[in-house]
Amino acid sequence: MSPNADSLAVEVRGLSKRFGDTAAVAGLDLGLERGSVLALLGPNGAGKTTTVEICEGFLRPDSGRARVLGLDPVTRAEQLRPRIGVMPQGGGAYPGIHAAEMLRLVASCTADPLDPAWLLDILGLSAAGRTPYKRLSGGQQQRLSLACALVGRPELVFLDEPTAGMDPQARRLVWELIAALRADGVSVLLTTHLMDEAETLADRVVIVDQGRAVAEGTPDELTAPPHGQQELRFRSQPALDLELLLAALPEGCRATEVRSGHYVVHGAIDPQAVSTVTSWCAHHGVLAQELRVSRRSLEDVFLELTGRELRN
């Protein structure tokens, strides 16, 4: 099914936003299909939060347009807000309010909320229910913020770096929650700079850098090597004769010893190529260790696309 306007929970076209001399978002396009999870992946300052805040109606774009559930998020904010859940970066609550009071306040704004006590319990906040917000740990504030985003049973949630500052257990829990949201038909737009988070949760990933989408696709599509560009890595004795191996491998393959004893073969890696490599090792009387035909990780893709800027 090809995405069309009706099936999109969020549609962003040619979005641009400047702050002074800085272009935070520069011609960004993206589409979140209803009931799916879209991850905006990018380094700090890539424009992720600005994009999300435009979609939430907190910021007005300089040009381009955003449609959220078919509505203009700025002019139709009052109609839109009851239908969406928002987890702003860094949370937000009265400094002196107890965690449970804050969640009840947000719940009381909605028609058919989840049970706040249950939500606090599953997020491990029951014991902190009477703790003032300013005395909660960073991770607890994040979990309370997530609870506030979910309590109104929204059809679309915006999660801006939902696991920032969380310990590994809490992160796992949040991942399970997001998977459950998706299973129940909630659309999720999340930002992250964590590769594994995007790879695990997202149906589609948009890699953002300097306000632009530099790559877009499912995690599988993004990490799939271009045809004929797989790679095979293995370890063995240093300084083996690569000429013999190259002669045996199909046309177009390249073999290099990247470090002493670490070999990489680039090209169309098929079962025959793997067999050729192991035969070649057998011919030398050595063992191919840690032999692995790898896909690129999302991190490889990400660094390939954005790494140059990080180094500058």
Partner 1 sequence: MKADSEARTSGEAAAAFPPGTFRPSPGRAHPLRMLAAHTRTEAILTLRHGEQALLTLIIPLGLLIGASTLLPGAVDAIVPRILALAVMSTAFTGQAIALGFDRRYGVIKRLSATALPRWVLISGRVLATLIVVALQAIVLGITAVLLGWAPPAGGLLLSIPLLVLGTVTFGAAGVLVGGILRAEIVLALANAIWFVLLLAGGLAVPPEELPGAVGILARFLPSGALAEALQAVLTSGQPPGLQPVLVLLVWGAAAGGLASRTTRPT
Task: Output 30 or 148, the one with its CB closest to partner 1.
Answer: 148
Radius of gyration of the chain from its Cα atoms, rounded to whole angstroms: 24
The interface mask with partner 1, positions 40-59, x = CB under 8 A, is ----------------x-x-
CA–CA distance, 58 with 49 (Å, rounded to integer): 11
Cα–Cα distances in angstroms (integers) from residue 284 to residues 132, 287, 288, in the given order: 69, 9, 10
Q: How many CA atoms lie within 13 A of 92 on its CB side?
A: 9
Q: Which of 145, 192, 236, 276 binds partner 1 (CB under 8 A)?
A: 145
Q: Which stretch binds partner 1 (CB under 8 A): 178-186, 230-238, 258-266, 275-283?
A: 178-186
Nearer to partner 1, 108 or 278 (CB): 108
Please report, for residues 16, 70, 82, 108, the alpha-carbon distance to residue 77 in angstroms, rounded to integers and kept in the order given: 20, 12, 9, 19
Q: Which is nearer to partner 1, 151 or 232 (CB)?
A: 151
Question: Rounded distance, CA 198 to CA 194, Å?
Answer: 7
Q: Does 159 help bind partner 1 (rule: CB under 8 A)?
A: no
Judged by CB under 8 A, the stretch of 15-23, 94-102, 203-211, 235-243 that binds partner 1 is 94-102
Alpha carbon distances (Å) from 45 to 34, 129, 191, 208: 27, 34, 12, 10
Which among 23-31, 176-184, 254-262, 268-276 is the span making contact with partner 1, rule CB under 8 A? 176-184
Residue with token string 């058919």 = 112
CA distance 119 to 290: 45
Q: Which stretch binds partner 1 (CB under 8 A): 180-188, 225-233, 246-254, 276-284?
A: 180-188
- Alpha carbon distance 242, 261 (integer Å): 12
d(CA 283, CA 195): 40
Element (H, E) at 188: strand 187-192
- Cβ-based nearer residue to partner 1, 30 or 202: 202
Q: Shortest approach of partner 1 to residue 187 CB, angstroms?
A: 9
Q: Which of these segments, 41-49, 75-83, 228-236, 276-284, binds partner 1 (CB under 8 A)? A: 75-83
Which is nearer to partner 1, 201 or 240 (by Cβ)?
201
Does 11 help bind partner 1 (rule: CB under 8 A)? no
Residue 152 binds to partner 1 (criterion: CB under 8 A): yes
Q: Which of 6, 20, 44, 78 binds partner 1 (CB under 8 A)?
A: 78
Element (H, E) at 26: strand 22-33
> Considering the rule CB under 8 A, would residue 21 count as an interface residue with partner 1?
no
Quote the least distance from Cβ 137 to partner 1, whole Å: 15
Instruction: Please state, as a whole number, how many other Cβ atoms lie within 10 Å of the Cβ of residue 305.
Output: 17
Q: How far apart, in whole angstroms, are the C-alpha atoms of residue 249 and residue 64?
A: 51
Tokens in use for 237? 């004795």
Site for partner 1 contains 110 (CB under 8 A):
yes
| Member of 10, 54, 106, 277 binding partner 1 (CB under 8 A) | 106
Closest CB to partner 1 among residues 88, 211: 88
Q: Are 204 and 38 in contact (CB under 8 A)?
A: yes
Residues at the interface with partner 1 (CB under 8 A): 56, 58, 78, 81-84, 86, 88, 90-97, 101, 104-106, 108-112, 114, 122, 133-134, 145, 148, 150, 152-155, 172, 175-177, 179-181, 183-186, 196, 199-201
